[in-house]
Amino acid sequence: AVLGVADVLAATAGSALVPAAVAREHRPRVNAWTVGAETVGQEFAGPFVGGLLLAAGTGLALGAIGVTYAAAALLLVLLAGRFRPAAPAPGTPAVPVNTRIAEGLRLLWRDPVLRTLSLTAAALNAVWGAWLALMPLHAHQAMGLGPGEYGFLLSGLGIGGLVGAATVTWVNRLLGPRRAMLADLLGTCAMTALPALTTSLWAVAAGAFLGGMGGTLWAVNSRTLTQHKVPDALLGRYTAASRLLCYGALPIGTAAAGLLAELLGTRTVFAVISVLALTTVIPFLRRVKAADLTGTSAP
């Protein structure tokens, strides 16, 4: 529980740190490197090294985790500087923490672009939660996959994420950030629709690849958009409010998918969540403009 709370604090602080440490024109590249590092660590290096360590012994695996966290803490010592918003003027009354939280929520809800961005991400997270919950059962019962084939299917997510992190700068130059984020919405539709349409391993793995790649394109560009639009002093509060909404949708999507699968079957639920993913396209296109993603829109 303590580690889970600390992870949220670290992620929120990390996203708020980037604008203070990095000039505006370099933020897309820095966000791409950050998301790429997260993808490599979470999807590839972490599971692979963790599996090897666990095979060598549980004590060794747990001890290595402690050493890794200690090394990460030491690396932060190298981060020189005090990256804080401007201090309030002398004599300014202290603001209660609940008021600060409310400021982040109001900012999220009153700004149409930020509200659309957060609600879209929440819908996509619900879809991803449903996909991840249903895929093991669907792969075993409907597709007849063994452990090795299922591992190949899931690797499509990680490979797609890594390719997205490596090519996001090129994709943004080719399509523009807005169309790159739209590609994520369409990729998520493909990822969820293909299991409803076919039992082909290659087709479903290709959909997972598109979903993983699109997820990285969305993550990089949505972080950059947020850093452009939200004042530095409110960035941590906004990020916390947005994460509450977005990550709160994950267990909702998971639970709803399980219930519907009991009643309708997994293929029908995949079709339903693909329609849900598709419904995010029109609000996104109506509210999020290219100027918002380049930081040229009026504040």
Q: Which helix (H) or strand (E) holds 159?
A: helix 147-175
Q: Does domain 2-77+112-286 have CATH number 1.10.1740.10?
A: no
Higher pLDDT, 45 or 260: 260
The tens digit of pLDDT for each residue in 77-127 reads: 888 777 776 666 777 777 788 888 888 889 888 999 999 999 999 999 999
Split at pLDDT 50, 70, 90, the class of 30 is confident
For 196, other C-beta atoms within 10 Å of its C-beta total 19
* Averaged pLDDT score across all residues of the chain: 87
> Residue 76's closest CA among 4, 28, 10?
10
The tens digit of pLDDT for each residue in 91-105 reads: 777 778 888 888 888
110: number of CA atoms within 13 Å, CB side?
9
The tens digit of pLDDT for each residue in 189-208 reads: 999 999 999 999 999 999 99
Show the 3-state SS of 100-139: HHHHHHHHHHHCHHHHHHHHHHHHHHHHHHHHHHHHHHHH
Phi, psi at residue 279, to the nearest 5°?
A: -70, -15
Residue 183: its pLDDT value, please?
94
Angstrom distance (rounded) from CA 188 to CA 209: 10
Alpha-carbon dihedral sign for residues 180, 150, 127, 125: negative
The dihedral region occupied by 176, where left means phi > 0, alpha psi between -120 and 50, and beta the remainder, is left
Helix 201-229 / helix 147-175 crossing angle, nearest 10 deg: 40
pLDDT at 298 over 50: no
Residue 295: its pLDDT value, please?
58
Show the 3-state SS of 34-50: HHHHHHHHHHHHHHHHH
pLDDT at 23 over 50: yes
- C-alpha dihedral over 116, 121, 123, 129, to 10 degrees? -170
**Domain residue extents for the chain:** 2-77+112-286
Contacts of 11 (CB under 8 A, 6+ apart): 243
